[in-house]
Amino acid sequence: MAGMEAHEHSETWSPHTVAVKAGRPDSQPDQPFNQPLVMASTYVAGGEMEYGRYGNATWEAFEAALGALEGGRALSFASGMAAVAAVLDLVAPGETVVAARHCYQGTLVQLAALEQRGLVKVVLVDIDDTEQVLAALNDDVALLWIESPTNPALEVADIAALSAGASAAGVTVVVDNTFATPLVQRPLDLGASVVLHSATKYLAGHSDAVIGAIVTRDDQIWSAFDQKRRTVGAIPGTLEAWLALRGLRTLALRIEKSQSNADELVRRLTDHTAVERVRYPGFGGIIAIELADAEIADRVCRGTQLWVHATSLGGVESSLERRRRWTSEPTTIPEGLIRLSVGIEDVEDLWRDLEQALLATT
Ligand code: PLP
């Protein structure tokens, strides 16, 4: 990439090091450490960039870093949903998409809209049931949509087994890796063709930017996404790409702290009388707890001071939300399920605040 430092060690470095080093300007005297914000709607003719909708050095720095982390070539988009739309556009009219029943509700809404318009057929599956998913991959299927862990049911898919089966059936596999991040799993290494991120969440990590991305090793797929982004114009904001790259630098530290906080909270929540079920994949910073009903769950969401009652996740700030407050959430998600996004605050402060809100319901 022009002007972007190439690292001969990047294949052997730990992802923690890659997150810090990738996507920086050449290490030359008086060069800044970090890619500056390039605010430009157009460029002097004769180069590769030409126009602000076609390319931007700040996007490219974020894409270089994310691509290095996932082991492919990245392209950033206006949001995770814009990236979802670009991937679904790969599906030709009349083809079938097999998708996780509990993937992000916005993805389900896009799929349902396409199906309603007669453009695709959608088959929903339990993504943690490998046999069931593989059985659904018939000749009409073009795309397998994996999300792992799922949002907010936290089911975990066997990405390697599903990718092997999909490849044998000629089905393209996309993995929404928003929850796990490339520090936990690299779907391209496990056989997937495309990785998708709502970079809004853990990658940016500070609840201040909406941005999405896809990553692939397939040049044809990458070019199709690039073409789509150029023509539809679902480009990221320059500041958002800069913030996402800034956030990425501390991803390893944030994930480590969120996860150790989550591990401890899971231990305590499991023993709590008000909590009927705790869902936790054993990694990452997202926990789902099931309470008796919607009213009790709503009271807990309103009863915290440190935990913020808000949608979204993956920020340094802990937040919580009853997911069924959204009418588009699948009805197979329990009414009393609260999704906890565990941040990097002190775990004792988090527990005290959550415990008093749970106690107030009993
Ligand atoms: N994928 C997952 C797993 C998500 O949780 C979200 C948003 O919550 C999205 C995709 C959509 O991303 P965005 O909100 O950045 O458009």
Sketch out the chain's domains with CATH numbers: 15-248 (3.40.640.10), 252-359 (3.90.1150.10)
Q: How many angstroms is it from 81 CA to the middle of ligand 1?
A: 6
- First-to-last alpha carbon distance for the chain, in angstroms, is 59
Where are the strands (E) in the chain, listed by range?
73-77, 96-100, 121-125, 141-147, 172-176, 194-198, 212-216, 277-279, 286-290, 308-309, 319-322, 337-341
Of 104, 202, 322, 339, the active-site residue reads: 104
Per-residue pLDDT at 8 = 58
**pLDDT value of position 351:** 98
| Percentage of the chain lying above the pLDDT 90 cut | 96
- Residue 1, pLDDT score: 45
Q: Is 212 in the pocket of ligand 1 (CB under 6 A)?
A: yes
Amino acid 306 reads L
pLDDT of residue 362: 79
> What was the pLDDT predicted at 2?
43
198 Cα–ligand 1 center, Å = 5
Cβ within 8 Å of residue 291, ≥6 positions away: 274, 275, 276, 297, 300, 336, 337, 338, 361
Q: pLDDT value at position 10?
A: 66
Q: How far is the CA of 312 from the centre of ligand 1 (A)?
A: 8
Q: What is the pLDDT of residues 126-145, one digit of tens each?
A: 999 999 999 999 999 999 99
In the residue annotation, 218 being an active-site residue is answered as no
Low-confidence ranges of the chain (pLDDT < 50): 1-2
Mutation to probe ligand 1, out of 176, 178, 211, 328 (largest number of atoms < 8 A from CB): 178
Judge contact between 280 and 262, C-beta under 8 A. Answer: yes
Predicted confidence at residue 11, as pLDDT, reads 75
Residue 247 tokens read as: 């956030």
pLDDT tens per residue, range 40-97: 999 999 999 999 999 999 999 999 999 999 999 999 999 999 999 999 999 999 999 9
- By three-state DSSP, how is residue 145 classified? strand
pLDDT for 159-179, tens place per residue? 999 999 999 999 999 999 999
Give the model's pLDDT for residue 6: 57
- 284 CB within 6 A, ligand 1: no
Report how far apart, in Å, the C-alpha atoms of 317 and of each of 202, 206, 241 are.
11, 8, 20
